[in-house]
Amino acid sequence: MPEKKENQQHSTKTSRRSFFNKLWIFLGFVALAECISVVGAFLLPKKRRIKAGNSATIIEAGPVEKFPLDSVTAFIRGKFYLARLQDGGFLALSRKCTHLGCTIPWVTEEKNFACPCHSSAFDIRGEVISAPAPRALDIYHVFIENNVLKVDVGKKIKRTEFRAEQVTYPKSI
């Protein structure tokens, strides 16, 4: 009789061991699947929720006449400044410094953008006039429809310097 008891205990132990082996194999596959999903999420690019050209990214700034020459208007919702140059052209400038991304204010008295973090300065066209900023301010696409200014904030345009073709001019009547 003691032999039967030993065989019964032995088969129970084997069964338990078999169960744990299967459990470890299953948990190993779960861990492998998690690792693959994390690596896949890291390597695959995220889809942008707002695409350029989408009506949600276009901000209507207002009629051309609303903006006096040589002025800068802040647009909080779009996170940009609309600059009207002395010659009547428009630029939509990013509010982020190209050095470390600090928000830069327009200083009306000095007629420039002054970064409060590291003292970079930019002129009304977004050109660097005082380092450490490495390049000009980023811009957004500006277009005019029916004499109304519109800015597409869906895609920021990085630039190294100011060029005349970046300015949008109203059409003469």
Q: Name the CATH topology of 55-166.
A: Rieske Iron-sulfur Protein (2.102.10)
**Residue-range domain boundaries for the chain:** 1-46, 55-166
- Which candidate, 155, 166, 147, 162, places its Cα nearest to that of 60? 147
Distances (CA, A) of 57 to 49, 53, 60, 121, 141: 11, 7, 10, 28, 11
Average pLDDT over the chain reads 84
pLDDT at residue 53 in the model: 46
**pLDDT, average across residues 40-56:** 65
- Mapped onto helix, strand or coil, the DSSP state of residue 106 is strand
State the Cα–Cα distance between residues 116 and 113, nearest whole angstrom.
Answer: 10
What is the number of alpha carbons within 13 Å of residue 23 lying toward its C-beta? 6
pLDDT tier at 40, thresholds 50, 70, 90: confident
pTM, two decimal places: 0.65
Mean pLDDT for 86-96 is 92
Confidence class of residue 100 from pLDDT cuts 50, 70 and 90?
Answer: confident
